[in-house]
Structure 1
Amino acid sequence: MPSGQQARAQASAITPGKPGSPSADPEPSPMDRVLALFGGHRLSPAQRRIAQYMTDHLTEAAFLSITDLAERVGVSQPSVTRFASSLGFSGFPALREALQPIALSAVAGSPDTREEIRRNELQVAIDAEIDNLASLRRVLADPNQVLAIGRELARSVPLTILGLRISVSLAEYFAYAARRIHPDVRLVTRGGSVAYDALLQSREAGGTWLLAFAMPRHANETLAALRAARRTGLSVALITDLTMGPLVEAADVTLTAGTGSRLVFDSYAAPVVMSAAVLQAMADAEPERTQTRLEGYEQVAEQHDFFLEE
C-alpha cells in the first residue's frame, strides 16, 4: 500500500505536465482529481457514504481527523480506515495527504466547487451506466447465447427465478413479466432451507432450469442456493455483474451485465436490459403460447379494470 509520499505522488500523477510541454493536457478540475482517487474501486455502501461526504465537503473533510470524519459521516473509525485501505492507501492519514492539495486548489477556484462536484458526481454515475449499456450492446451483437437460454427457460415448466437480498427486486421484475408469457413461474426470495425446499419441489414438478440473479454485495446464501439447485438436478442460468468466481462456477450459463457503483447503492440499468432481452428470447421461443397468454391477460386486465386509461 502507498506510504504518505506515494499517496502524494498518486494524487499528483493525475496532474498534467507544465503548460507548453509536448505532453501537457488541460488541467483537471478538483472534481476530476477526487473522482480519480475514489473511482475504480468496489466500495461497500458504508464506504460510499464516506466517499460521498468527502466529495461533497472536500475543502473541510481533507483536514479532519479520523475521529471527526467518522462522527460526521456516522460510521466507526475502523470503517474510515478500511475505506482508505480499499483505495490502496496505507491508512487514513495517507489518504488525507492525497486529498489536501486537491482541497486547497478547490478553495482557490470557484466558490461553487462543492456544488459542481456534487452535481457532476451524479452525471458521472450516469456516464458509468451508459458505459455499462454500451458494453452490453457489444455483447448482444451476437445474441445466440441469450436466444439459447431463452429457449431453455421457456421450455422449463415450472421455471424457478431466484433473487436474494439486494437481488430480490430484479428477480421480482423478471418473474412478474415472465408470468405473462409462461404458464408456471415460481419465485424464490428467501435462502437457506426455504430455498432448497422450493428448488426440490420445482425439480420434482418437472422443472429443468433455475434463473438466478446475483448482484453486489454477493451473498453466501445465493452461492449455497445455486449449488443446491445443481444437486437437485436443475440447470442454472445466472445474471450477474461477475465474469469469474464461485458464483459463476456454480452456474451452467452466466450472462454478465455491469452494475453502476458510483452512488451509495448500486444501479442496475444493464442487468435490467439483460433481463428484458432474456424475456424477449423466451417470448420468441414459444410465439403461439406467448400470443395466447398475452391476449388472455389483456382480456382479464380489461375485465377487472387493472390499469388506468391512457
Structure 2
Amino acid sequence: MSTPQQARAQASAITSGKTLPQAEAAPTSQLRALFDGPHLSPGQRRIAQYLIENIAEAAFLSITELADRVGVSQPSVTRFAGAVGFGGYPALREKLQSIALRALAGGAAEEDRSNELQAAVDAEIENLENLRRDFADPDRVIDVGRRLSRSTPLTVLGLRISVSLAEYFAYAARRIHPDVRLVTLGGSVAYDALLQSREAGGTWVLAFSMPRHAHETLTALRVAKRAGLKVALITDLALGPLADEADVTFATGTGSRLVFDSYAASNVMCAALLQAMTDADPERTQGRLEEYEQIADQHQFFLKD
C-alpha cells in the first residue's frame, strides 16, 4: 500500500498538463513585475516597495504626497517613473490606479469586526490568495524545481528566523533527493559549506530570508555567487539587495499582524517547489520514497495510526 506522500507524488503532479482558466495576477505580483526589470537605485527601491505595500492608497497620491510618504524628493519620484518605463508620474499613477481599481472591484472588503487573531488569519488568507494568483502560471516553479532536482548536492540555506523554513524544506527534500545539505549557521561555517557544495558538483542554492533580513544572509549569497552557484531565493521582498544577488526570487507575503511573523504562503511555496522536484524525476522519487518506507517500517519510526 502506498503512503500518502507516494500517492500525492503520483497523483498531484503540477506538470500533468491540466489547464485551468488563467486568473489575473495579484496586484502585488503585477507591481513586482512592473518594477523588477530596471536596475533601481536604493531610493527608487524604497518608492517601489512603498507602492507594493500600499497600492490601494498610494495609487491616488499626488507626487508631493508620495514623495513625503516615502521620504524622497519630488524629482526622485519623477526619475523613478522614468526608470520603470513611464513618461512621467501622471502616466505611472494612471497605471497604478488601474491596478488598484481592478483589485477593489474583485471584492469589496466587508466591515471588519474581527479580533486581532482573526485579523492575522485574514492577512494570511490574503497572502495565500496572492500566491494562488501567482500559481496561475506555474512554469517558473516547474523550471526551478527541475534545476534544484538536478543539483547534486543541493544546498538549502536559512539563517536566524529563516532556519525553520530551511529545515522543513531540507527534511522533505532528503526524501526525494540524494544529497541535500542544510546550512543554518552564518559566517565562515556557511562559507565553508557553500564552497564545499560547489566543489562537490552542486549548481544551486535554495535560500530563505524572512524579516528581519540578516547581513550574514546577504554575505552568504554573495559568497555563493562568487563560487559559481546559482541562487533561488524565497523571501518577502521582490526588490532589494538580497533579490539583487538571486538568480530567481519567489516573493511571498508574510503575516505581520502579531508580535512574531507567520509564514503560511512561504510554506506553501516550499511545498510547491518540492512537488516540482518530485515531478522532475518521478522514477527517482518513487524509488527513494519506497526505500524510505521500508526503512521506516523496519525501525518503527512512526506510530500506527
Q: Tell me the TM-score normalized by structure 2.
A: 0.63
Distance of 1:297 and 1:178 partners within structure 2: 13
Distance of 1:309 and 1:178 partners within structure 2: 24
**2:240 maps to what in 1?**
245
Counterpart amino acid of 1:186? Answer: R
What does 1:60-71 align with in structure 2 at a 5 Å threshold? none
The answer to whether 1:157 aligns with 2:177 is no
**1:137 maps to what in 2?**
132
What does 1:1-310 align with in structure 2 at a 5 Å threshold? 120-310=115-305
**1:52 maps to what in 2?**
none
Task: Tell me the secondary structure at the aligned position of residue 181 of structure 1.
Answer: coil
Counterpart amino acid of 2:270? Answer: S
Distance of 1:141 and 1:190 partners within structure 2: 35
What is the CA-CA distance between 1:118 and the residue it aligns to?
11
Counterpart amino acid of 1:145? Answer: R
Distance of 1:198 and 1:260 partners within structure 2: 31
CA deviations on 1:115-158 (whole Å, 9 max, x unpaired) are xx997111000000000000000001100000000000000000
Distance of 1:257 and 1:303 partners within structure 2: 39
Between 118-127 and 195-204, report the one with greater CA deviation. Answer: 118-127
Task: Tell me the secondary structure at the aligned position of residue 193 of structure 1.
Answer: helix
If asked which structure has higher relative contact order (CA below 8 Å, sep 6+), I would say 2
CA deviations on 1:180-208 (whole Å, 9 max, x unpaired) are 00000000000111100000000000000
CA deviations on 1:7-43 (whole Å, 9 max, x unpaired) are xxxxxxxxxxxxxxxxxxxxxxxxxxxxxxxxx79xx
Structure 1 residues 118 and 168: CA distance shift in structure 2, 3 A: farther
Counterpart amino acid of 1:302? Answer: D
Give % identity.
74
Task: Tell me the secondary structure at the aligned position of residue 146 of structure 2.
Answer: helix
Distance of 2:135 and 2:234 partners within structure 1: 14
Distance of 1:290 and 1:256 partners within structure 2: 27
Distance of 1:226 and 1:196 partners within structure 2: 9
CA deviations on 1:87-137 (whole Å, 9 max, x unpaired) are x9xxxxxxxxxxxxxxxxxxxxxxxxxxxx997111000000000000000
Distance of 1:239 and 1:128 partners within structure 2: 19
Q: Tell me the TM-score normalized by structure 1.
A: 0.62
Distance of 1:247 and 1:211 partners within structure 2: 13
Distance of 1:230 and 1:236 partners within structure 2: 7
Structure 2 spans left out of the alignment, 5+ residues: 1-52, 55-68, 72-111
Structure 1 residues 118 and 223: CA distance shift in structure 2, 3 A: farther
What is the RMSD of the two structures over their aligned residues, measured on CA atoms? Answer: 1.8
